[in-house]
Structure 1
Amino acid sequence: MTEPAERVRITSSRRPMVRAGQQDLRDEINTQTELGEVYVDGLIRAQLRLALRVILVGVLSLGGLPLLFHLVPSTRNATIFGLPFAWLVLGLLVYPTAIIIGRQYVRASERLEAEFSALVNDP
């Protein structure tokens, strides 16, 4: 009488085929090999470029306001509907714009991370 074959539990039918001597991209990143460092450095550079663009927009737009008030003296004391012009600019232009830029930054950052994650997780 022959013994039954040992039971094997299959947890997933989708397993990436890795050739002998090759590492999965996740393993490359985790073990900090040269290829893994290239991928991580690419993600970091993309996030840095995104952050620098946001900072540049903020510096140019917010930095332009004091310059506007300095170069155009009539804006310092101007009022619209009894409210100072500077308050209106800050309340109606700067803050909503900052919120919109912040949301766009978060979305773009999440998109970069999702693309990187998809690249790493897909075989």
Structure 2
Amino acid sequence: MSVEPAPRREVVTGVPRRTARMGRPVRTQSEINEQTTLGAAYVRSLMRSQLRAGLAAFAVLAVVLGSLPVVFSLLPSDLSLWPAGPTLVWAVLGAAAYPFMIVIARWYVRRAERNERDFADLVE
């Protein structure tokens, strides 16, 4: 019995998709590199989207964390009558605020990276 070698597999590839759009990326990159009016508009658009994301994150943090003193002022002045009053206040300030800030920070970073990725896709 003779064992025949398995036929060699061939990989068939097509033309890369980026070559079909070669005229546009070069023009867009040159617009930015040469600092033309259109290139400045592209960069300004990226900066505005990044600013919008930063202001949105700041606004949410300011509203939520800034309202904590108001909420605490609405609590009874004699916290000893309220079960776990001082402990609750310190737990919210010392522990519960940080996971909220981490969630907002992660949202902001993802949004900023998505803005940059969209801009890079536009330029390429």
- The two structures have a TM-score, normalised by structure 1, of 0.73
- Indicate yes or no: 2:101 matched with 1:94: no
In the TM superposition, residue 83 of structure 1 has moved relative to its aligned partner by 6.7
Aligned to 1:73, what secondary structure does the other structure show?
coil
Note the residue ranges of structure 1 that are not aligned, 5 or more in a row. Answer: 1-11
Pairwise CA RMSD:
2.6
Name 1:46's counterpart in structure 2: 49
Asked if the contact 1:69/1:76 (under 8 Å) is kept, the reply is no
Q: 2:73 aligns with which of 57, 60, 70?
A: 70
Residue 67 of structure 2 aligns to a residue in which SS? helix
2: distance between equivalents of 1:75 and 1:34? 63
Report how far residue 71 of structure 1 moved. Answer: 2.4
For 1:17, the equivalent position in structure 2 comes to: 23
Find out whether 1:84 has 2:87 as its counterpart.
yes
Residues 1:120 and 2:110 aligned together: no
Distance in 2 of aligned mates of 1:60 and 1:76: 25
Matched letter for residue 94 of structure 1:
A
Higher relative contact order (CA 8 A, sep 6+): 2
After the TM superposition, which segments of 4 or more aligned residues of structure 1 sit over 6 Å from their partners? none
**For 1:102 and 1:46, how far apart are their aligned partners in 2?**
16
Residue correspondences, number? 105
Q: Give the aligned partner of residue 3 of structure 1.
A: none
Identity percentage of aligned residues: 42
Q: Any unmatched runs of 5+ in structure 2?
A: 1-15
> Which residue in the other structure is 1:34 paired with?
37
TM-score, normalised to structure 2's length?
Answer: 0.72
Distance 2:59 2:114 in 1: 21
1:17 is matched by which residue type in structure 2?
Answer: G
Conserved? CA contact 2:28–2:123, under 8 Å: yes
Tell me, yes or no, if the aligned pair for 1:47 and 1:109 is still in contact at 8 Å: yes
8 Å Cα contact 1:75-1:86 kept in structure 2: no
